[in-house]
């Protein structure tokens, strides 16, 4: 999902997120930024559940995460 006003948000919604999902979203965001010719102000992943390792990787990459629960 691409949302823009004065700021640009790239959002992905999933039921479950693992580390590979975080990496893939980050890579896709880079491609979209190149296509748009502008940097996204925020990258946001929305998930019902997320693996702890994925949550840590998202934080490292600066991806904001909205989630219901952490899966160990």
For residue 5, what is the DSSP state?
S
Number of domains in the chain: 1
Q: Looking at residue 54, what is its pLDDT?
A: 98
Q: Looking at residue 2, what is its pLDDT?
A: 72
Q: Looking at residue 5, what is its pLDDT?
A: 76
Which residue range forms the structural domain that includes residue 56? 2-71
Q: pLDDT of the chain along its 72 residues, tens only?
A: 676 778 889 999 999 999 999 999 999 999 999 998 999 999 999 999 999 999 999 999 999 999 999 998
Q: Looking at residue 7, what is its pLDDT?
A: 87
Global pTM reads 0.89
């Amino acid at each position: 999902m691409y949302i823009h006003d004065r700021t640009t948000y790239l959002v992905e919604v999933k039921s479950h997120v693992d580390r590979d999902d975080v990496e893939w979203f980050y890579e896709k965001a880079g491609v979209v930024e190149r296509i748009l010719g502008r940097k996204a102000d925020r990258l946001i992943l929305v998930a019902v559940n997320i693996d702890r390792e994925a949550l840590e990787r998202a934080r490292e990459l600066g991806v904001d995460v909205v989630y219901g629960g952490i899966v160990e």
